[in-house]
C-alpha cells in the first residue's frame, strides 16, 4: 500500500509539473504591477506575489528546479557513496580512514554544513548540488559499506575469489548487485532530503537565486507579505510537503517490498 500510494502520488505530482505548462501559458517571471498580491482568480489561479508574478507559474517552474536539484544530488550521492562504500567494505586498510572521514562529516548538522560550504563557494545552482551531495554522501557510503561487508563473506564471493576472479569483477558482478536494493531505498529517501535541503537553503537566501524560482525561495520571498497573502505560503508549502511525503512513502514501500521480513510484518 505504501509503495502504491507513494508512487501514485509522486507520479501525479511529476505529471502535473511536466504537463501543465503545455496547457497553460505560464511565465514565472512576468511582472504585472496592476495585480500585486491578488488572491486566486480566473486570471491567476493561485494568486500573485508581491511583484505581480503568477504564483501557479512560479510553483510549477519552481518544482522543476527543486526536483532537478534533488535528482542531481541523488545521482552524485549514489555514485560517490557507492564507490566509497565498496572500497571501505572490501578493503580493510581503507575502511578505517574512509569511515572516520564519513563520521566527521556526519557529526555536523546537514543544513549547517551545507550552509558553510555555500558560504565558502558561493550560492550557484552547481554549488547547491555540490554542497548537498557532500552532506549526504556519508549516508549512502555507510549503507553500501554495510552491505559490502556482509556480501564479501558470502560463499559465492569466496568461490569467485578462489577461481581467480579479479577484484574489479567481484565488486561489479557479485557485490554491487547485492547492494543495489538497499541503495535504491536509501536514494529514494535522499531524494526527499535533497529537496528539503534545497528548500531550506533557498529560504535563507543561499540556495537557488531569484529570478529563478524554487519552492524554497518562493517561501522565503513570502515572509514579508504572508499575513495579508496567505496563498503565498499555502500553495508552495503544500507542493513541497506532498512531494516529500510521496517520496518518503515510496521509500518505505520499497523497503517493505525488498525486505521479506518487513513485508511479513
Residue that the C-alpha cell 511582472 belongs to: 31
- Tell me how crowded residue 80 is: count the other CB atoms within 10 A of its CB: 17
For residue 79, what is the domain's CATH number? 1.10.3720.10
Cα 68 to Cα 51: distance, rounded to the nearest angstrom: 25
Residue 187 lies in a domain: yes
Q: Can you give the residue range of the structural domain that contains 219?
A: 51-264
Per the rule left: phi > 0, alpha: psi between -120 and 50, beta: everything else, 32 is: beta
pLDDT score recorded for residue 260: 54
Q: What is the chain's pLDDT, residue by residue, as a tens digit (265 residues)? A: 788 888 999 999 999 999 988 888 888 888 888 888 888 888 888 999 988 899 999 999 999 999 999 999 999 999 999 999 999 988 888 899 999 999 999 988 888 899 999 988 888 889 999 999 999 999 999 999 999 999 888 888 888 888 787 888 888 888 888 888 889 999 999 999 999 999 999 998 888 888 889 999 999 988 888 888 899 999 999 999 999 999 999 988 888 877 655 444 4
pLDDT score recorded for residue 264: 47
Residue 67 lies in a domain: yes
Residue 96 lies in a domain: yes
Torsion angle in degrees (nearest 10) through CA of 200, 205, 210, 215 = 10
pLDDT score recorded for residue 82: 94
Cα 99 to Cα 107: distance, rounded to the nearest angstrom: 12
Residue 166 lies in a domain: yes
Residue 1 lies in a domain: no
Residue 22 lies in a domain: no
Residue 68 lies in a domain: yes
Residue 60 lies in a domain: yes
User: Could you give the number of structural domains in the chain?
Assistant: 1
Residue that the C-alpha cell 525488498 belongs to: 258
Cα 44 to Cα 57: distance, rounded to the nearest angstrom: 9
Amino acid at each position: 500500500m505504501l509503495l502504491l500510494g507513494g508512487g501514485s502520488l509522486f507520479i501525479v505530482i511529476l505529471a502535473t509539473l511536466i504537463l501543465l505548462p503545455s496547457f497553460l501559458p505560464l511565465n514565472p517571471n512576468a511582472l504585472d504591477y496592476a495585480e500585486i498580491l491578488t488572491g486566486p482568480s480566473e486570471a491567476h489561479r493561485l494568486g500573485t506575489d508581491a511583484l505581480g508574478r503568477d504564483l501557479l507559474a512560479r510553483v510549477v517552474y519552481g518544482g522543476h528546479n527543486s526536483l532537478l536539484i534533488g535528482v542531481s544530488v541523488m545521482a552524485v550521492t549514489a555514485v560517490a557513496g557507492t564507490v566509497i562504500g565498496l572500497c571501505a567494505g572490501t578493503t580493510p586498510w581503507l575502511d578505517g580512514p574512509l569511515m572516520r572521514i564519513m563520521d566527521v562529516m556526519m557529526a555536523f548538522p546537514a543544513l549547517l554544513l551545507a550552509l558553510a560550504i555555500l558560504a565558502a563557494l558561493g550560492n550557484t545552482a552547481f554549488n547547491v548540488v555540490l554542497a548537498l551531495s557532500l552532506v549526504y554522501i556519508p549516508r549512502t557510503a555507510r549503507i553500501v559499506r554495510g552491505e559490502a561487508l556482509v556480501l564479501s563473506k558470502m560463499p559465492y564471493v569466496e568461490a569467485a575469489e578462489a577461481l581467480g576472479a579479479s577484484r574489479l569483477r567481484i565488486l561489479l558482478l557479485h557485490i554491487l548487485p547485492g547492494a543495489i536494493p538497499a541503495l535504491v531505498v536509501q536514494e529514494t529517501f535522499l531524494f526527499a532530503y535533497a529537496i528539503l535541503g534545497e528548500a531550506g537553503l533557498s529560504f535563507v537566501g543561499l540556495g537557488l537565486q531569484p529570478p529563478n524560482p524554487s519552492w524554497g525561495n518562493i517561501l522565503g520571498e513570502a515572509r514579508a507579505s504572508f499575513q495579508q497573502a496567505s496563498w503565498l505560503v499555502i500553495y508552495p508549502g503544500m507542493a513541497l510537503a506532498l512531494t516529500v511525503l510521496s517520496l518518503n512513502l515510496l521509500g518505505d514501500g520499497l523497503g517493505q517490498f525488498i525486505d521479506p521480513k518487513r513485508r511479513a510484518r
